[in-house]
Structure 1
Amino acid sequence: MIIAAGLSPAWQQILEVNSFEVGEVNRCQSAHWCASGKVINVGVALQHLGCPCETIFPAGGYARSLIEAELNELDVSFRDLNQENPTRICTTILDRSSGQTTELVENATPISEQEVKAFAAEYRRCAETATVAVLTGSLPEGTPVTFYRDLIAKTKCPVILDARGTELEEALSAKPFLVKPNHEELERTLGRVLSSTEELIKGMQDINRRGATWVVISQGKSALWVTSANEVYRFIPASVEAVNPIGCGDSLAAGIASAIYQGWTVPESIRWGMAAAADNLTQLLPARLSDSRVQELYKQVEMEQVV
């Protein structure tokens, strides 16, 4: 079993407009609602990839029942723990004339000490039988910055961590199996600009030396870089027509987790994750993947071992 766990789910609105004008009345050509947020996206993606997964997150307010209804419809196994504060609502605006995506992201609502403890206890219980765990998403107000570190320290299986900043820095001492900040997040974590490929690789291997076995850095349409203490890989993503980029990083994490669960090598698992991210990019709703499409896209992802 794979665990997808995080504290910042969302009820997501996706609006398509012909041309988005700031400060003007914008009439939408379509509107869609779905369960989302990084943790839910990972769980939904894993379900679509055919992997057994338990998705763990807190939820509250009227959005909780909406999220539950959709996850049940998608046949996603989940444990939503009660949260007093309402689950956040986020909006994505897709401008079809420019191809630009605008996100209106509500911060995850504060979580109490008791709710944090309940979540950690449920995670630890599920982690006892897990093969892979994915810890993902920002930490709401009220969560210790050591939260991910403390969970990883009590997890026996490989952990994929999608976090940034202080929570990533704190977690490195617990030796996560794989971390996947983007380029900007890596710079913030290291506190310096990485303006060349050489500087990027050195920065990634700094993170390896501080505890992460593997570091994955995505750069949108550009090459994706992967390092361990002694290896460097470069991946070129499949070329697809973009519909909605939301959830690509989450689909990448889910794809990697699913392949590791099946016993693949880490480089090939990342290649599969990139195919999952490419498939997500072509879909309107995040993480609604197709295993057959991902298999075709996997063949298009180029992989090269540099070191």
Structure 2
Amino acid sequence: MKILCCGFFPALQRTIEYKSFRPGEVNRALKVSVAASGKATNTARVLSILGADSVMLSFAGGANGETVQKLLETEDFECNWVDTGAETRICQTLLSDEDGSCTELVEENPPPSSRDWKTFIQTFGRIQADFDRIVFCGNLPPHVPQEIYAELMACTNGDKVLVDSSKTPLLATLSHRPSVVKLNTEELSMTVKDTYDPLEQARELIAHGAGAVGITQGKDSAMLVTPNNVYRYSIPQIKAFNPIGSGDSVSAGISFALAKGSALPEAFAFGLACGTSNAMNVEPGVVKPEQIAELIPKIQIS
């Protein structure tokens, strides 16, 4: 199976581990690791670990972009890069062993030029037909085209698309009828504002074109809403090391299972197991098949 992970802003990710981290004080690190990250990167990495033929399409720019490209040369998935003059961002994750806290310092990427966006759209249009599934990965800052996912979807089949985004970038895709929309409860509330009920919010997205809506809320129960049913999922309690990348891992797991022929309720459960496995590891976008196998029976569906 071939799955395309389409995002715009990869990151040079520094994960810094502390015995304890106290804001406003001098904190000495126990360990520092550097990796390529970002939502499309994490999703493609997890898909590769699961055994899919995954491909990432993303921008890369400047010295940080060159470093990200070199880091990903050693990983087992293909990268299609669109060159940009906008420097690739650096993000830092601060982990405290004492209380298990995770602090994320996220830079915003400078906006690519209009020519860069045009090249990206042309590249996507040229390659998209080769893939069984497509994942659109990431929320978008206000300085980039808010309907870019919809513009890309106009040249592909919505039945094979999972959209992992929110607000205008997500809403604009609904006329193209994506098969699955995945977001967390906070993102859902920012996207559908005329009700506070997550079930009603999901049904409104379906009424406007979403094939199904998957809703996560971290370690708490998750929900899948389809036109005819509502499924609720319990999440196994685990010792979490780093939740960064868990949402991306959920999207990867759903897409992988659907590409293999699983029904959507079971595919969503598999995605939740992937997201939970990611949180059990320090590096973002890393899952372990043996952990996933142990977690799946612990996820109760009602």
TM-score range, shorter chain: over 0.9
Q: Distance in 2 between matches of 1:140 and 1:111?
A: 12
**What is the RMSD computed on CA atoms of the aligned residues?**
1.4
What is the correspondence of 1:84-99 to structure 2 with a 5 Å cutoff? Answer: 84-99=85-100
Deviation at 1:192, TM superposition (A): 4.5
Q: Distance in 2 between matches of 1:126 and 1:224?
A: 33
Q: Distance in 1 between matches of 2:261 and 2:115?
A: 37
Write the letter of the residue equivalent to 1:4: C
> What is the aligned partner in structure 2 of residue 158 from structure 1?
160
- Which secondary structure state, in structure 2, belongs to the residue aligned with residue 13 of structure 1? strand
> What is the aligned partner in structure 1 of residue 220 from structure 2?
222
> What is the aligned partner in structure 1 of residue 245 from structure 2?
247
> What is the aligned partner in structure 2 of residue 177 from structure 1?
179
> What is the aligned partner in structure 2 of residue 80 from structure 1?
81
CA contact (8 A) 2:53 2:77 kept: no
Q: Distance in 2 between matches of 1:122 and 1:180?
A: 25
Deviation at 1:140, TM superposition (A): 5.0
CA contact (8 A) 2:87 2:109 kept: no
Q: Distance in 2 between matches of 1:90 and 1:298?
A: 31
- Which secondary structure state, in structure 2, belongs to the residue aligned with residue 258 of structure 1? helix
Write the letter of the residue equivalent to 2:31: S
Q: TM-score, normalization: structure 2?
A: 0.95
Q: Distance in 2 between matches of 1:235 and 1:124?
A: 36
Deviation at 1:161, TM superposition (A): 0.6
What is the correspondence of 1:16-165 to structure 2 with a 5 Å cutoff? Answer: 16-139=17-140, 143-156=144-157, 157-165=159-167
Report which stretch shifted further, 237-246 or 149-158: 149-158
Name the count of aligned residue pairs.
300
Q: Distance in 2 between matches of 1:37 and 1:202?
A: 30
- Which secondary structure state, in structure 1, belongs to the residue aligned with residue 200 of structure 2? helix
- Which secondary structure state, in structure 2, belongs to the residue aligned with residue 180 of structure 1? strand
**Cα deviation per residue 1:206-254 (whole Å; 9 max; x = unaligned)?**
1111111110110111110110121100011222210100000000000
CA contact (8 A) 1:109 1:140 kept: no
Q: Distance in 1 between matches of 2:45 and 2:64?
A: 17
Q: Distance in 1 between matches of 2:140 and 2:275?
A: 23
Q: Distance in 2 between matches of 1:54 and 1:37?
A: 14
Q: Distance in 1 between matches of 2:265 and 2:155?
A: 26
Deviation at 1:291, TM superposition (A): 2.3
Deviation at 1:193, TM superposition (A): 5.8
- Which secondary structure state, in structure 1, belongs to the residue aligned with residue 219 of structure 2? coil
Match of 2:258 among 260, 265, 281: 260
Q: Distance in 2 between matches of 1:298 and 1:69?
A: 35
Q: Distance in 2 between matches of 1:69 and 1:294?
A: 29
Q: Provide structure 2 residue ranges, at least 5 long, that are not aligned to the other structure.
A: none
Write the letter of the residue equivalent to 1:185: E
Deviation at 1:66, TM superposition (A): 2.0
From the superposition, tell whether residues 193 and 91 of structure 1 become closer, same or farther in structure 2 (CA, over 3 Å).
farther
Q: Which runs of 4+ in 1 moved over 4 A?
A: none
From the superposition, tell whether residues 116 and 141 of structure 1 become closer, same or farther in structure 2 (CA, over 3 Å).
farther
Write the letter of the residue equivalent to 1:164: S
Q: TM-score, normalization: structure 1?
A: 0.94
**Cα deviation per residue 1:1-34 (whole Å; 9 max; x = unaligned)?**
1000111111101111122211111111111111
Q: Distance in 1 between matches of 2:193 and 2:200?
A: 13
Match of 2:191 among 168, 189, 192: 189
Q: Distance in 1 between matches of 2:231 and 2:208?
A: 19
Deviation at 1:180, TM superposition (A): 1.2
CA contact (8 A) 1:111 1:140 kept: no
Q: Distance in 2 between matches of 1:204 and 1:42?
A: 23
Report which stretch shifted further, 284-293 or 137-146: 137-146
CA contact (8 A) 1:111 1:141 kept: no
CA contact (8 A) 2:86 2:109 kept: no
